Every structure is written in structure tokens, then in C-alpha cells.
Amino acid sequence: MSVKVNELTKKYGEQNAVDAVTFEAHKGEVLGFLGPNGAGKTTTMKIITCFIPQTAGTATVCGYDTDEEPMKVRECIGYLPEHNPLYKDMYVREYLAFVAGLHKLENKKKRISEMIEMTGLGREQKKLIGALSKGYRQRVGLAQAMLHDPEVLILDEPTSGLDPNQLVDIRSLIKEIGKSKTVIFSTHIMQEVQAICDRVLIINQGKLVANDSIDSLRQRVSGETVVTVQFLEKIGIAQLQNIPDTLRIEALPGNQWQIISHKKHDIRPKIFKFAVQNGLTLIEMRQDTYSVEDVFRRVTSKE
């Protein structure tokens, strides 16, 4: 097991920033760590990488406990922190040589060249880090994280703020790395997870609310149909619950409602009859199926 987290908890005063989180990550796996802002992603990653201690629970990386053998953990982990702190007045190669020195690497030059090649930094390698665009700085951060060839890579929002082309490049790089390593990367973008992950962890308010493959996440909601309706008149949720075969109802802005039913029922004629019987003017009705994005919203929205 590359990474094993058990009942991990971090308290800040009264708040459980991370609340009894348990999961594992395996070699050859890209694990997406998904959740809204403030969910506890960064805090969890900081504990796994030995930057801050937990309040309770345990985390082990390649068999080493983060509390007991932090130096060993750091040896087998590469970390790209959330805001990618870099020395802007260092040159790309100079900075990577500095990092290689910290890791006491042998054959530094060769390894640095390999990383520059792998992260596509070739054309920018002679520049000051401060002169690079955001996407290239991100590549420097990735090169830095992978320099000592760690077993496990922890990437905190590695694609935030990149333009669409850079996004595609960095995503495929992460996917490639994930074939031979264990990668845990955080994001709040669902499509990103769909594009590169094998499995997804969803965290909300410190709690893990899903730990599933993308396919089974989809299946979780594939048995349901959503009909979005809009009435001219203002009505209440209680009234809508009289529509037969309704599972749940969710309010949208502007007098719109999502009426959720089992797929086996076509609820649309019933909605129409309901409107007629109650003297309501139905001005829109549209049937959708749930996307993985909806699953994300559902498991992370406050009840």
C-alpha cells in the first residue's frame, strides 16, 4: 500500500478541518481528491507530506508512519503545494540543482535533464523562474516534485489557473506519471477527475463523502431521471410533492424546480396533469439525466 490514511483528524479550534478521513491509495493509481473550497484537501495533503501534524488518526506512506518516520516519508514522497512556492529569482536549472542537492542526489545533471525533458521545459530552461508563465512555473513545480523519483506524488491543485492548452498538457503528464507511481491530486473541477482519475475521493466539510470509481459514481445516479420545470406562478415544494412517483424535489432559482424520479417512470405527463389540475402555467419542462457533476453537487451541497 503506498498511502494509507486512517481516521485522520485535524482540529483548528472547534472546527474539524479534517474529520476522521480513511482511505488508501495504490501503486499505479491516479486518485482524484475532490471537494469544494475549504473542504479539507490541502490540510489532508499537508499531513500526509509531514508539513503539519494531525490531531488524531494515522497516515502512512510506503509503510512509514508520518509521525514516527517523517524523514523516510519525505524520501518517498514528491509534493507540489497549493500555491507552488518557487524562488522567482533563480534560474530553472539552478533551482532544480538546488532541490537535487537537498535530496543529495547523485548524477544530478542527468536527472535534471530528464525532468526538463519530461515536463516539457526545454525551451524555458535557461530563464529566470520569475519570467515564466503560470503553466511553465507549474511544470517547474512538477519537475521539483519528481526529481528524486518518489513512489508517491501529492499534487495540490496542479492545474489551477492554467489556460486550456496547458491544462491538456499537464493532465496528460499526470496521467502518464500515474502509470508507474501513486498520484493523489486535488481539484475542484469534476471534468478533470473524469479525464485523468481511476478513482475519486470526495471530501466535504472535512468528511469523506465518496470513495469510488468514476463508473460506480455514475451508476449511483444513473437509475434516476431529472425533470426541470418552470411555472409562471410562485408555488411551494409541499404542493409539488403531490405529483405521483416523485422521489425528491430540488429548488432552483427563478421558480424552477428539479423533480427527480426513478428512471422507469416517465413523470412528465403527471407533471402536466398536475399543472392543469392546479391551474398552474407550465412554461418550461426539460428532461435530463444526472451527470457526474450532479453527483458531486449532491454529495457536497448542504442539506
159 lines the binding site for Mg ion (CB under 5 A): no
Q: Which residues bind ligand ADP (CB under 6 A)?
A: 12, 17, 35, 37-43
Residue 110: all three cell numbers together:
542527468
Minimum CB distance to Mg ion smaller for 41 or for 74: 41
Task: Kindly state the smallest distance separating residue 187's Cβ from ligand ADP, in Å.
Answer: 10
Angle (CA) 81 83 88, round 5°: 105
Name which position in 16, 42, 125, 246 contacts Mg ion (CB under 5 A): 42
Distance of CA 45 to the CA centre of its chain: 12
Name which of ligand ADP, Mg ion, none residue 43 binds, using a CB cut-off of 5 to 8 Å depending on partner kind. ligand ADP
Name which of ligand ADP, Mg ion, none residue 12 binds, using a CB cut-off of 5 to 8 Å depending on partner kind. ligand ADP
Q: Which of 300, 274, 296 is nearest to 285 (CA)?
A: 274
Q: What are the distances in angstroms from CA 53 to CA 2, 43, 67, 75? A: 19, 10, 7, 18
Residues 6 or more apart whose CB falls under 8 angstroms from that of 131 comprise none
Residue 175: all three cell numbers together:
496521467
Stretch that binds Mg ion, among 20-28, 33-41, 128-136, 229-237 (CB under 5 A): 33-41
Residue 3 CA to residue 73 CA, distance in Å, equals 10
Name which of ligand ADP, Mg ion, none residue 181 binds, using a CB cut-off of 5 to 8 Å depending on partner kind. none
Task: Kindly state the smallest distance separating residue 242's Cβ from ligand ADP, in Å.
Answer: 40
**Are 5 and 23 within 8 A, CB to CB?**
yes
Minimum CB distance to ligand ADP smaller for 115 or for 153: 153
Minimum CB distance to Mg ion smaller for 17 or for 30: 17
**Are 4 and 24 within 8 A, CB to CB?**
yes
Task: Kindly state the smallest distance separating residue 244's Cβ from Mg ion, in Å.
Answer: 44
Binding site for Mg ion (CB under 5 A): 41-42, 82
